Structure 1
Amino acid sequence: MPHTIDEAFTALPLRALADAALARARALGAEHADFRLERVRGASLRLRDARPAGASDTIDLGYAVRVVHGGSWGFASGVDLTMDAAAKVASQAVEMAKLSARVIEAAGPDARAARSASSDGRWRETGGRVELADEPVHADRTWISSYEIDPFSVPQEDRAGLLAEWSAGLLAADGVSHVDASLLAFHENKFYADTAGTVTTQQRVRVHPQLTAVAVDEASGEFDSMRTLAPPVGRGWEYLTGTGWDWAGELAEIPEHLAEKMRAPSVRAGSYDLVVDPSNLWLTIHESIGHATELDRALGYEAAYAGTSFATFDQLGKLRYGSELMNVTGDRTAEHGLATIGYDDEGVAAQSWDLIKDGTLVGYQLDRRIARLTGFERSNGCAFADSPSHVPVQRMANVSLQPDPGGLSTEDLISGVDRGIYVVGDRSWSIDMQRYNFQFTGQRFYRIENGRLAGQLRDVAYQATTTDFWGSMTAVGGPQTYVLGGAFNCGKAQPGQVASVSHGCPSALFKGVNILNTTEEAGR
């Protein structure tokens, strides 16, 4: 049955509060104003060895007003759901814009120039003024994410009971000493209106179940762990009961995988061909492509906190990012994607577009201000705030490597490797501030000999530069290997914000990648 927007949300005075705030902003001379009211319900549940270890269930409710006044940004937020309070918040936003303008004026002409020119001539002359790319008006639009069962409609005892049942099953297996289980769930409602006439109401649901089995060798003191590969998704409770993932199958395999990992030999460092499973490759995409193609980062706006990007704006259309098999899209429309929306936090409709085409950088992720500043006709809908008290910032879309329509299966990719390693599952990672030099580990590593898997290895990390790694990709798996991975905890901005994002990819083959032995690298 199709869902409707939660009545408890629509019963709030959404339009009246927006009208009061936007009218005040107009009266005070704002060139642009937008109003955003959100209710975000989040729940967490944790079990340790099948026993409760923690739980929370919180609601964040409030609204924000953002303005452009005198060519400067202003922002303020509030929680008092009255018309007078909403108008006051709009006044505070305008005052903040006036203060910002004075600060910029005092900084002198270099600050006001706002980097208005570049060697390729694509920068627009703004004189330091905030200007937004045009966006069609979207009046009275409603969007609801794709899910079946709202996780908050399931009693807490039923949620805990399923995790306890799964945990007990793992604990009963030989070699499993401890089990950690967790479930994160979110139900997000958002109302947006702006002075151009766009009005949107949206509802999103997402869940992340996870179990980790731990083995301890009492004689040696050695220990290791094995985590489920099931990614977080834009689905509801149905995800935990068999829709979209085979939980019974995966949980049944974990004890054997963990036991094999405990007795596996340490890898010999060197050059290997890699077949990388989607359960690992999604994170490499996130770090080396997703963040690198955020245009605010590439322009230096994140330099004080999270770094910059080697994929600078002057290389658009020129940079050879990887092999000709590499086709990467930014996508706010993918079904069940964590970054999937109907409209972003600037009223921009969701889109899908090319970031890398045939190995060449052809696009970036944009919000309305960055799009206007750099000569793009339109934003591609990448503005997001993680709470009603935070200002929208440019955030990542679902960034995905596209499969080869006629590509091989994972098994066939492995069969073409004489000496290599098959990488499964994500674990730790490290990447430099320009998203260029990196290393990644994983959950499981299998030695490949003469086209066959020959047992697990331990202490493996693959290391490369971004362009060398993606340039070494010699085969991309078919649609049958494609999986939408992702994370709930992508961080950015100051003050820090957290966003959920998905990354789809097939299995892929990479030639001659440098493999480190992590134990040796640690000096042990």
Structure 2
Amino acid sequence: MKRRDFIYLTGMGAAATMLPGIPVTGRPITPEEALMPVDPALKKQMADVALNAARSKGATYTDVRIGRYLNQFVITREDKVQNIVNTESYGMGIRVISNGSWGFAATDKMDKESIAKTAELAVAIAKENSRLQTEPVQLAPQKGYGEVSWKAPIEKNAFEIPIKEKVDLLLGVNDAAMKGGANYITSLLFMVNEQKYFASTDGSYIDQDIHRIWPTFFITKIDAATGKFETRNALSAPVGMGYEYLYARPQDKIQGITTLYKGRYDMLEDAKAGAAQIGEKLKAKSIEPGKYDLILDPSHLWLTIHESVGHPSELDRVLGYEANFAGTSFLTLDKWQSKQFKFGSNIVNIAADKTQPGSLGAVGYDDEGVKCGQWDIIKDGILVNYQTIRDQAHILGLTQSQGCCYADNWSSVQFQRMPNISLQPGKEKKSIDDLIKGVEKGLYIIGDGSFSIDQQRYNFQFGGQLYYEIKNGKIAGMVKDVAYQSNTQEFWNSCVGIADASDYRLGGSFFDGKGQPAQSSAVSHGSSTARFNGVNVINTSRNIG
């Protein structure tokens, strides 16, 4: 084994150990290798081999996904570089319909013979599956687009930025936090490039280049006198952008209590603020339980949207397909069919969108070759739609898919995944200050934290990073040990105010888990700051029961 390979292989294992929940897959490569693309003409040739082989064995429909998935981690702690990891996963997944049933097979051997055998295996699996199929797959019609391409509109490819520049940034962030009083800090940059090629018997050959980046840190400060400690995580959002995300501009800054930016992120400034705020948290008073009006920042609200709106409006969950692993949904079909289910107050409008620039879920076409778009989930407080893919569309009487199909790797079969789900901004001019001014007894919550929600995505509890008490329309100081409890319908019906579009920001997750075998996807959730009245708040440091 070469020394370089040994370093990368051991590094992968160490990185995975230090970052629980972050999947590290693929073979180790150098940063230079990551910048060497695969010729689209070659990918088309390989796709045609699979399409022809599947057709010759009796497939009535076939789609092919050739994927090259690149990951880069740069991880530091205090004044040391912990790890630098570069990986690549490259191969082909082939999905077919034969005898009215799905079949799937995948290979990382990209020669013609191996591709043809994999296509034949997919057809054989479909035919075997058809013995248990109660009714044939019904695919919504989809026109072919011919040869097209889509690229994320990035300004700076993060994989082209020298490693030294990234390391210097993170060590600078760590130094600023330590000088500000932090005892420990871990910081990291995680960069993803998905190079995806889709071909189908519908006549599409789609080449896509997708980029994502997530800068984050985790700060801890200990009170030497008491031994108690507090933490503060970064207020960054993972985004579908290039390295330009880390170049914050003055015009992007949101005026508020802490460092918040619209569409950009200043990691150094956030670390400085975080170190100071963690000291405040150690001294902050513990919250008195009771009913509070909540002002929820987008850096917090994204997670509540994800869990209480995004997941329950997935049609496969509604139909019970995810019951064994991830649960079901309280948003049953009868509620949608009634056309009057009051999900939220009249000002609550929540849309699905696969095209929003800078979002994690933004693509031109989904993994079924469906051109992506936008549609309403909640309109004026009423449940009006779900999230669907091609073999679900007929259940809702739709004539086409909504483009919600995704696989996290070439070796994984694509299935229904969440698009970007976002609360739409208020229509009247309104700022964060305007929302706070009207609150007599309340809390302003910034950043996401721990949460719990039941298997139907109905009863829940959420925490955050920073909590500020509001008294008589003014911020009265920091508090801690806060979580709020509600159920989804009650919570969204308590929404009485939403800031305007000037405050609209994205949050999101790199690793939304679902399916068996489990897959992870990246998804964003946007909102402006919003107010929710009369929500139950508990003290998390006190025993319950």
Q: Fold match, TM over 0.5? A: yes
Corresponding residue to 2:128 among 81, 91, 99 = 99
**Deviation of the 1:54 alpha carbon:** 2.4
Q: How do 1:363-442 residues align onto structure 2 when only pairs under 5 Å count? A: 363-442=385-464
| Corresponding residue of 2:3 | none
Give the Cα–Cα distance (whole angstroms) in 2 for the partners of residues 468 and 416 of structure 1: 21
Amino acid corresponding to residue 459 of structure 1 in structure 2: D
Q: Is the 8 A contact 1:146 1:234 kept in 2?
A: no
Aligned to 1:352: 374
1:55 positional shift:
2.7
The 3-state SS of whatever aligns with 1:368 is coil
**Aligned-partner residue type, residue 70 of structure 1:** N
Written as runs of structure 1 = structure 2, the 5 A alignment for 1:253-268 is: 253-268=273-288
Among 529, 532, 540, the alignment partner of 1:510 is 532
**What residue identity is the alignment partner of 1:44?**
F
Q: Does 1:59 align with 2:88?
A: yes
Q: Secondary structure at the match of 1:289?
A: helix
Residue 522 of structure 1, CA deviation: 5.6
Check whether the contact 1:50–1:163 (CA below 8 A) recurs between aligned residues.
no
User: If the length of structure 2 is used for normalisation, what is the TM-score?
Assistant: 0.89
> How is 1:13-412 mapped onto 2 (pairs within 5 angstroms)?
13-104=42-133, 112=134, 128-173=135-180, 175-242=181-248, 244-316=264-336, 317-412=339-434
Of 512, 520, 523, 2:542 maps to 520
Give the secondary-structure state (helix, strand or coil) at the position aligned to 1:13.
helix
The offset of 1:427, in angstroms, is 0.7
SS at match of 1:131: coil
**Residues 172 and 268 of structure 2 are in contact (CA less than 8 Å); yes or no, is this contact kept in structure 1?**
no
CA distance in 2, matches of 1:277, 1:521: 28
Is residue 97–residue 126 contact of structure 2 (8 Å, CA) maintained in 1?
yes
SS at match of 1:447: strand
How far does residue 169 in structure 1 lie from its aligned partner after superposition? 1.2
Query: Do 1:320 and 1:360's aligned partners in 2 also have CA atoms closer than 8 Å?
Result: yes
Distance in 2 separating the partners of 1:327 and 1:200: 32
Counterpart CA distance in 1 for 2:37 and 2:140 is 34
Determine if contact 1:191/1:199 at 8 Å carries over to the other structure.
Answer: yes
Q: 8 Å contact 2:425–2:504 — kept in the other structure?
A: yes
The Cα shift of 1:248 comes to 4.0
Deviations 1:474-502 (A, max 9, x none): 11111122111111010000000000000
Aligned to 2:23: none
Q: How many residues align?
A: 496
- What SS class does the counterpart of residue 349 from structure 1 fall into? coil
* Equivalent-residue separation in structure 1 for 2:272 and 2:36 (angstroms): 41
Secondary structure at the counterpart of residue 329 of structure 2: coil
| Residue 499 (structure 1) aligned with residue 528 (structure 2) | no
Give the CA deviation at 1:515. 0.3
Question: 1:521: how far off?
Answer: 3.8
- Structure-2 separation of matches of 1:383 and 1:6: 27
Residue by residue over 1:271-323, the C-alpha shift from the partner in whole angstroms, topping out at 9 and shown as x without a partner, is: 11111111100000000000010001111100010000000112112321100
SS of the residue 2:154 aligns to: coil
Bigger shift: residues 48-57 or 33-42: 48-57
| Counterpart Cα distance in 1 of 2:432 and 2:248 | 23
CA distance in 1, matches of 2:311, 2:471: 35
Distance 2:521 2:376 in 1: 21
One-letter amino acid of the counterpart of residue 65, structure 2: R
1:115 matched to which residue of 2?
Answer: none
Provide closer, same or farther for how the CA distance between residues 375 and 8 of structure 1 changes in structure 2, counting only shifts above 3 A.
same
Deviation for aligned residue 1:166 = 1.1
Match of 1:488 in 2: 510
SS at match of 2:308: helix
User: 1:448: Cα distance to partner?
Assistant: 0.2
Instruction: Return the alpha-carbon distance in structure 1 between the equivalents of residues 215 and 242 of structure 2.
Output: 11
Q: Which amino acid aligns with 1:372?
A: H
Report the alpha carbon displacement of residue 84 of structure 1 after superposing the two structures with TM: 1.6
Which residue of structure 1 aligns with residue 8 of structure 2?
A: none
CA contact (8 A) 1:275 1:508 kept: yes
The code of the aligned residue for 2:54 comes to: A
Provide Cα deviations, 1:334-364, integer angstroms capped at 9, x if missing partner: 0011001000000000110000000000011
Percent identity, please: 40
Post-superposition offset of 1:230 = 1.3
- RMSD of aligned residue pairs (Cα, Å): 1.4
Shift of 1:464: 0.2
For the pair 1:465 / 2:487, whether they are aligned, the reply is yes
Q: What is the rounded CA distance, in whole Å, between the counterparts of 1:314 and 1:152 in structure 2?
A: 48
Aligned to 1:8: 37
Shift of 1:6: 7.0
Shift, 1:52, TM fit:
1.4
Q: Is the 8 A contact 2:78 2:178 kept in 1?
A: yes
Higher mean displacement: 251-260 or 240-249: 240-249
Provide, for residues 212-239 of structure 1, a one-character-per-residue CA deviation record: whole Å limited to 9, x for no partner.
2211012211001112211011111122
- Conserved? CA contact 2:288–2:539, under 8 Å: yes
- The residue that corresponds to 2:5 in the other structure is none
TM-score (norm 1): 0.93
Structure 2 CA distance for partners of 1:299 and 1:11, relative to 1, 3 Å: closer
- Residues 128-156 of structure 1: CA distance to partner in whole angstroms, max 9, x if unpaired? 11111112221111000121111111122
CA drift at 1:245:
2.1
Q: Structure 2 stretches of 5 or more lacking a match?
A: 1-33, 250-263
Q: Match for 1:224: what amino acid?
A: E
Deviations 1:50-81 (A, max 9, x none): 31122321000000110011010000000111
Q: Is the 8 A contact 1:311 1:319 kept in 2?
A: no
Deviations 1:493-523 (A, max 9, x none): 0000000000000111111000011111468
Aligned amino acid, residue 484 of structure 1 = L
- Preserved CA contact (<8 Å) 1:193 1:199: yes
**Alignment partner of 2:427: what SS?**
coil
